Amino acid sequence: QVQLVESGGGSVQPGGSLGLSCTFSVSIFAFYDVGWYRQLPGEQRELVAITSGGIGSTEYADSAKGRFTISKDNAKNIIYLQMHDLKPEDTAVYFCYADQGTKYWGQGTQVTVSS
């Protein structure tokens, strides 16, 4: 059974940094893509950053470029999202994501950026 379990998140002031991690119950290599989406209040879920489960390209939303970095540890089956220079508009629930033909989601973790 595929399970994605996020950790990290929380509250931070504008300009601060936070890191998220997502632990997979199966090998990351099993997935075409793994990454992060977020859902802002009252809006649809949107891509933040995504990368290949194996060796491949990485894609960032324009809002994340230059501030967020996705990485993964295939040996530990964990992916990470390091976020810097956070802005109030980054406030959202962040979801870990994996695509194997079937899409899988984590439970979500809240990130709040506020002074």
- Per-residue pLDDT tens for 34-45? 999 999 988 999
Token pair listed for 68:
């967020």
pLDDT for the residue numbered 56 = 79
Query: What's 25-62 look like in SS3?
Result: CCCHHHCCEEEEEEECCCCCEEEEEEEECCCCCEEECC
Q: How far apart are CA 105 and CA 18, in angstroms?
A: 20
Band of pLDDT at residue 64, cut at 50, 70 and 90: very high
Mean pLDDT of 64-80: 96
Q: Which of 13, 36, 5, 45 is nearest to 112 (CA)?
A: 13
Reply yes or no on whether the pLDDT at 55 is more than 90: no
Q: 94-107 pLDDT, tens per residue?
A: 999 999 999 999 99
Reply yes or no on whether the pLDDT at 23 is more than 90: yes
Reply yes or no on whether the pLDDT at 57 is more than 90: no
Share of the chain above pLDDT 70, in %: 100
pLDDT for the residue numbered 72 = 94
